[in-house]
Amino acid sequence: AQKVTQAQTEISVVEKEDVTLDCVYETRDTTYYLFWYKQPPSGELVFLIRRNSFDEQNEISGRYSWNFQKSTSSFNFTITASQVVDSAVYFCALRAGNNRKLIWGLGTSLAVNP
Amino acid sequence: NAGVTQTPKFQVLKTGQSMTLQCAQDMNHNSMYWYRQDPGMGLRLIYYSASEGTTDKGEVPNGYNVSRLNKREFSLRLESAAPSQTSVYFCASREGTRGRNQPQHFGDGTRLSIL
């Protein structure tokens, strides 16, 4: 079975705090792809990053970083020095094997308060 | 750069009315998708089209039909709207031929209320 779990339903932090959003996935396929999307209050879904199963290198993009660990089946997302504009719902998703569809987590709602 | 365009952005229907949600992409993508998003339920796939001329059911296809009119357009039809179909509907597209790691790109959504 393929599954994505985002255990944190809601997170609230104060501006400038660091925050990590957890994503745990399940798949028996050895080839798979992981994605993060952001949905700000305006409602659109914005692609943030993808990661292939054979590339465990962590990635940093400005204040955003992603930690992919196959040993724990996790693909966690950290925002450093959070800002109010980071307030959004963040979704983690998985495409595995020959599945043509994305498997979505239920999302984590992040509120960054001034 | 229009990307994925959905029309309308908002719609209110009465129970039993029919409605077609339109989606068009200008990125020459092969695959297109329709999702619905409900509070606490995340994104659920209604239908998808892996390529022009093909459509397949997703998780929640009942009460919907789709048409892949051409490579650019993928419409979603509610034949007889029900209050349970009140939701935000998203269309997405994906390149589809350069590997499974290509992300889906989303439209801005259609907020549909069925009274």
Q: What is the Cα B35 distance to its own chain's centre?
A: 5
What 8-state DSSP symbol labels residue A44? -
In total, chain A counts a number of residues equal to: 114
Give the CA distances from residue A98 to residues A102, B52, B55, B81, in Å, rounded to whole numbers and listed in that order.
11, 19, 17, 34
Distance CA A17, CA A109 (A): 16
pLDDT of residue A70: 92
Chain B residue numbers touching A43 (CB-CB < 8 A): 88, 108-109
Interchain contact, A100 vs B50, CB within 8 Å = yes
HEC assignment per residue over B8-77: CCEEEECCCCCEEEEEEECCCCCEEEEEEEECCCEEEEEEEECCCCCCEECCCCCCEEEEECCCCEEEEE
pLDDT of residue B1: 62
Quick check: B53 contacting A, CB < 8 Å? no
Q: What is the pLDDT of residues B76-99, one digit of tens each?
A: 999 999 999 999 999 999 987 666
Of all residues in chain B, the percent with pLDDT exceeding 70 is 96
Distance from CA of A30 to the nearest CA of B (A): 13
Q: State the burial class of residue A71 (Cβ atoms within 10 Å of its Cβ: 0-12, 13-18, 19+).
A: exposed
CA-nearest residue to A54 within chain B is B101
Residues B48, B49, B54: CA angle, nearest 5 degrees: 130
pLDDT of residue B98: 67
HEC assignment per residue over A62-96: CCEEEEEEHHHCEEEEEECCCCHHHCEEEEEEEEE
| A/B interface, count of CB pairs below 8 Å | 44
pLDDT of residue B74: 97
Interchain contact, A101 vs B106, CB within 8 Å = no
Chain B residue numbers touching A91 (CB-CB < 8 A): 42-43
Nearest-Å Rg of the Cα atoms of chain A is 14
Quick check: B90 contacting A, CB < 8 Å? yes
Nearest residue, CB atoms, A33 vs list B56, B92, B101? B101
Chain A residue numbers touching B42 (CB-CB < 8 A): 91, 104-107
H or E segment and range at residue A19: strand A19-21
Interchain contact, B42 vs A95, CB within 8 Å = no
The pLDDT of residue A56 is above 70: yes
Distance CA A112, CA B20 (A): 37
